C-alpha cells in the first residue's frame, strides 16, 4: 500500500513540485484577451473589445486586488473584535473597479469618491498600515486617526466623503481647477448607484458639460443602494445614459481589463478637450452595505455565492494569467502568502500604534490653531502640551 508518509512518497511529492515549478523564461511575456464590449451613449467610437496584458502588469493587478481583498477581510475581523468602531463600508467584490481605474490614469490626475473608500485609498498610494491604522483610530493613520473609515486622504486624493453624492460636485470643482490652471490632468468623481438620484449630481453634470470640464464621472453600480435593489430605487437603471447630453459607457466592472481599457478610452476623450464623460461600472459587493448590515435580508446567500463562483474579479484574472502562460498556480500562491503576511504585519501595527494624544483635539481645524483651553469639569481644562 502506497502511504504518503513513506520516503518514496515524499520523493515523489518533491518531484511533482519541481515539475510544477517553472523559471521566468518559461512564462509568456504578454497575452491578448477578448473583453466584453461596452454599451454606448452619445458616442460614435468605443473602447476596444480586446486587451493586451504583460506578465508584469498581470502580476501587479493580481497583487493589488488580493491586497484589497485581504485588507477588507482583516477590517471585517477587527470590526467584529470591536477594535474598529463606527461606520465601516467594505470594498471586497469591487476590486477590479479601483485597480482598473488607477492603472489607466496618471498619478497627477485627481480622484474623489464616497465612503466605500479603503480600496481606492490603497490604489492612490496610501499604505495598508496607514489605512488599517485610520480604521482603528491610531495616530499612524492616513488622517492621524481622526477620519476613520469614511475619511481618508492622500496626494491628489480627496476622500472618502460621508454625505451621499456630495463628492460629485466637489469633483467637478477639482476638474474646474485643472482647466482654469491649464493643467493636463483630469478628475475622477466616483459615486454609487444609491447616490445616482441626488439632485446635486445632475447640477454637476450640467456645469461640467457647459464648461467642458475634464471630469470622468464614475457610477459604481453594485446593484444595491444600502438594502434597496436598483430596480426599486431608479426609474432608469441605465446609469451611463443619465448624463443626458454627456456621453456615457457601461462597463463590466468585474473585469479589471475591461475597466482599464474603458478608463483609458474615457481619459483620452477628456484630455482631448471634448468635455466630461460618464462611466457606469457594473459590479457587486460581497459584504452588506456596511458592517452593521448582514447583507442577506434583501438578497439571498445563493445570489452572493453565484456571483463569487461566476464573476469574481480575482478568479477571472487568475484564470487568465494561468491559462495564457503568463504565470502559474504556484507563483500566484506565493503572492497570496506574501499578501497575507503584509496584511498581518499592517494589522499588528494598527492595533499597537498609540492613539492620538488629547492635544491633537484642536489641530487641523483652523490654519492658526485653536485655544488649547477646553470646557471641562473644572469648569475649564488645559489640554496637554503637544
CB atoms within 10 A of CB 37: 15
Q: Does 379 sit behind a cis peptide bond, omega within 30 degrees of 0 on the bond before it?
A: yes
Phi/psi for 205 (5° steps) reads -55, -50
How far apart are alpha carbons 288 and 118 in whole angstroms? 15
The pLDDT tens digits for 90-116 are: 999 999 999 999 999 999 999 999 999
Q: What are the backbone angles phi and psi of residue 30, rounded to the nearest 5°?
A: -160, 150
CB 208 within 8 A of CB 188: no
How many other C-beta atoms are found inside a 10 Å radius of the C-beta of residue 70? 21
- In what side-by-side order are the strands of the sheet with 39-41? 39-41, 248-252, 277-282, 215-221, 187-192, 110-112
Q: In whole angstroms, what is the distance from residue 268 CA to residue 1 CA?
A: 65
Q: What is the pLDDT of residues 265-290, one digit of tens each?
A: 999 999 999 999 999 999 999 999 99
> Is residue 333 a contact partner of residue 322, using CB atoms and an 8 Å limit?
no
- Return the H-helix or E-strand segment holding 191: strand 187-192
The alpha carbons of the chain give a radius of gyration, in whole angstroms, of: 23
Q: Tell me: the pLDDT tens digits for 127-143?
A: 999 999 999 999 999 99
State how far the Cα of 178 lies from the Cα of 172, in Å rounded to an integer.
Answer: 10
**Backbone angles phi and psi of 157, in degrees to 5:** -135, 120
Distance in angstroms (rounded) separating the CA atoms of residues 246 and 239 = 12
pTM of the full structure: 0.90
- pLDDT tens for 225-272 read 999 999 999 999 999 999 999 999 999 999 999 999 999 999 999 999
For 61, residues 6+ apart whose C-beta sits below 8 A from its C-beta are 53, 99, 103, 256, 317
pLDDT band for position 383 (cuts 50, 70, 90): low
Amino acid at each position: 500500500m502506497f502511504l504518503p508518509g513513506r520516503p518514496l512518497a515524499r520523493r515523489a511529492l518533491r518531484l511533482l513540485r519541481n515539475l510544477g515549478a517553472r523559471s521566468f523564461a518559461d512564462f509568456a511575456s504578454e497575452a491578448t484577451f477578448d473583453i466584453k464590449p461596452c454599451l454606448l451613449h452619445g458616442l460614435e467610437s468605443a473602447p476596444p473589445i480586446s486587451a493586451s496584458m504583460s506578465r508584469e502588469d498581470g502580476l501587479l493587478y493580481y497583487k493589488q486586488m488580493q491586497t484589497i481583498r485581504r485588507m477588507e477581510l482583516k477590517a471585517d475581523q477587527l470590526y467584529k473584535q470591536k477594535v474598529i468602531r463606527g461606520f465601516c463600508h467594505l470594498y471586497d467584490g469591487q476590486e477590479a473597479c479601483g485597480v482598473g481605474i488607477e492603472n489607466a490614469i496618471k498619478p497627477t490626475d485627481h480622484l474623489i469618491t464616497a465612503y466605500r473608500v479603503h480600496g481606492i485609498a490603497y490604489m492612490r498610494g496610501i499604505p495598508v498600515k496607514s489605512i488599517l491604522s485610520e480604521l482603528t483610530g491610531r495616530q499612524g493613520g492616513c488622517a492621524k486617526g481622526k477620519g476613520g473609515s469614511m475619511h481618508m486622504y492622500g496626494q491628489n486624493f480627496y476622500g472618502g466623503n460621508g454625505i451621499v453624492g456630495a463628492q460629485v460636485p466637489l469633483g467637478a470643482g477639482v476638474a474646474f481647477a485643472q482647466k482654469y490652471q491649464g493643467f493636463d490632468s483630469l478628475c475622477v468623481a466616483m459615486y454609487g448607484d444609491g447616490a445616482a438620484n441626488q439632485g446635486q449630481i445632475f447640477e454637476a453634470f450640467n456645469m461640467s458639460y457647459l464648461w467642458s470640464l475634464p471630469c470622468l464621472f464614475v457610477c459604481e453600480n453594485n446593484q444595491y443602494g444600502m438594502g434597496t435593489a436598483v430596480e426599486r430605487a431608479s426609474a432608469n437603471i441605465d446609469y451611463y445614459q443619465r448624463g443626458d447630453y454627456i456621453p456615457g459607457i457601461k462597463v463590466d466592472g468585474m473585469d479589471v481589463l475591461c475597466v482599464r481599457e474603458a478608463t483609458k478610452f474615457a481619459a483620452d476623450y477628456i484630455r482631448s478637450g471634448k468635455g466630461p464623460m460618464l462611466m457606469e461600472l457594473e459590479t457587486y459587493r460581497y459584504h452588506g452595505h456596511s458592517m452593521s448590515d448582514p447583507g442577506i435580508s434583501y438578497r439571498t446567500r445563493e445570489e452572493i455565492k453565484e456571483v463569487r463562483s461566476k464573476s469574481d474579479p480575482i478568479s477571472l484574472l487568475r484564470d487568465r494569467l494561468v491559462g495564457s502562460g503568463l504565470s502559474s498556480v504556484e507563483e500566484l500562491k506565493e503572492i497570496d502568502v506574501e499578501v497575507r503576511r503584509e496584511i498581518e504585519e499592517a494589522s499588528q501595527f494598527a492595533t499597537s500604534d498609540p492613539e492620538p494624544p488629547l492635544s491633537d483635539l484642536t489641530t487641523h481645524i483652523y490654519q492658526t490653531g485653536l485655544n488649547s483651553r477646553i470646557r471641562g469639569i473644572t469648569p475649564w481644562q488645559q489640554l496637554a502640551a503637544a
